[in-house]
Amino acid sequence: EAQVTQNPRYLITVTGKKLTVTCSQNMNHEYMSWYRQDPGLGLRQIYYSMNVEVTDKGDVPEGYKVSRKEKRNFPLILESPSPNQTSLYFCASSPRTGVNQPQHFGDGTRLSIL
């Protein structure tokens, strides 16, 4: 089954404790992206990647890191999480970049930073 898989689905942690949210897609998509969803704000892009070893900042990159060493994986790293990073996070992918490319989303990761 074609899918985008995120882990963990839920995480409660404390300020400053490094964490990684994994994202993997099995569709051979070139493009991958991370979004955060906050009430009343819709989804906002954190980072994206157009292909292996090609990443760039989105609208809200502060406090996050990413890497794209393999085509299928695009982990999101919070080196020193803070409470304002409490949010619902989505990984998404599409075959390529382009205006006609719908992005396929993972099921989301709900992070709570205490």
Partner 1 sequence: AQKITQTQPGMFVQEKEAVTLDCTYDTSDQSYGLFWYKQPSSGEMIFLIYQGSYDEQNATEGRYSLNFQKARKSANLVISASQLGDSAMYFCAMREGGSGGYNKLIFGAGTRLAVHP
Binding region for partner 1 (CB under 8 A): 31, 33, 35, 40-45, 48, 50, 56, 58-59, 88, 90, 92, 97-108, 110
- Choice between 63 and 108, CB closer to partner 1: 108
> Residue 35 in contact with residue 44, Cβ under 8 Å?
yes
CA count, 13 A, side-chain hemisphere, 63: 16
Cβ nearer to partner 1, comparing 81 with 106: 106
CA 82 to chain centroid, in Å, comes to 17
CB of 10 to partner 1, least distance (A): 10
Give the closest residue to 109 by CA, choosing from 48, 16, 19, 40.
19
Task: Work out the widest C-alpha separation in the chain, in whole angstroms.
Answer: 40
CB 23 → partner 1: shortest distance, Å? 14
CB of 98 to partner 1, least distance (A): 6
- Residue 6 or residue 85: which is nearer to partner 1 going by CB? 6
